[in-house]
Amino acid sequence: MAKARTADPEEGPRSRRGAILVAAVERFGEDGYENTKWSEVADRVGIGHTALYHYFESKAHCLLTIMRLELQRSHDQFVEATTDEKDPVEAVRAAVRSAFGVTEQEIRQMRILQANMSLLASPRKSRREEAERVAARQLVHMVERDWTNLLMRGMAKGAFPVRDAHTVGLAVLGMIVSVWRWYRPNGVIPLPEIREVLEGCAVRMVAE
């Protein structure tokens, strides 16, 4: 697969921030967030434990950053896939295909995101953690709005029956993101096959 697209505008040319994020995604993806020691992330990067605090004030701060970046990536990928697609049905198909056009690292990021969504519910005491949490929550609403607006455009064109676009959008989005709770790259069902099934399901959900 292609190189992981974990990126952050805060990262400079000599920063270890990107390497820390990649290592954290790998460790959280392998053993889970709760079971990963913060020092294990430092060991994987090859830096001292205290050096982590130059970039992240806590393991939770790092996790929230990963979640925010993954949500931003998902939003950007949706927009790129659907902006120039004029046919509403094909736009839905393109949106589903884009959701599954991912690297192994991005699969880990999405699994981490879905496993830790409850972290976004309550305010954080730390200012930096809270900033990431708020940004992530805003992106959650943005991703939901992406699907709502796409379906509303289809309804306006007569391609989809007129219903509550927000509810239908949440249903389609929920079906897609649920995959990352159980899918594993070495599993029995290959990802292209899963994508094909869900692409058909999504079209039927919105068009029938």
What residue ranges do the domains of the chain occupy? 12-56, 60-207
Q: Which of 38, 4, 9 is CA-nearest to residue 108?
A: 4
* 2 — pLDDT class (breaks 50, 70, 90): very low
Contacts (Cβ under 8 Å, ≥6 apart) of 103: 1, 2, 3, 4, 5
Phi/psi of residue 75, each to 5°? Answer: -60, -50
State percent of the chain over pLDDT 90.
Answer: 86
**What's the whole-model pTM score?**
0.90
Angstrom distances, CA of residue 202 to CA of 7, 10, 93, 171, 192: 30, 36, 8, 9, 15
* 7 — pLDDT class (breaks 50, 70, 90): very low
DSSP state, residue 4: P
Whether residue 5 is predicted with pLDDT greater than 50 in this model: the reply is no
* 8 — pLDDT class (breaks 50, 70, 90): low
One-letter identity of residue 195: R
In terms of CATH architecture, what is 12-56?
Answer: Orthogonal Bundle (1.10)
How many whole angstroms separate alpha carbon 203 and alpha carbon 196?
11
Which residue has 């690297």 as its token pair? Answer: 103
How many whole angstroms separate alpha carbon 160 and alpha carbon 104?
34
One-letter identity of residue 17: R
Phi/psi of residue 18, each to 5°? Answer: -60, -40
Q: What is the mean pLDDT of residues 67-74?
A: 97
CATH, range 60-207: 1.10.357.10
Q: What is the mean pLDDT of residues 26-40?
A: 93
Other CB atoms within 10 A of residue 91 CB: 20
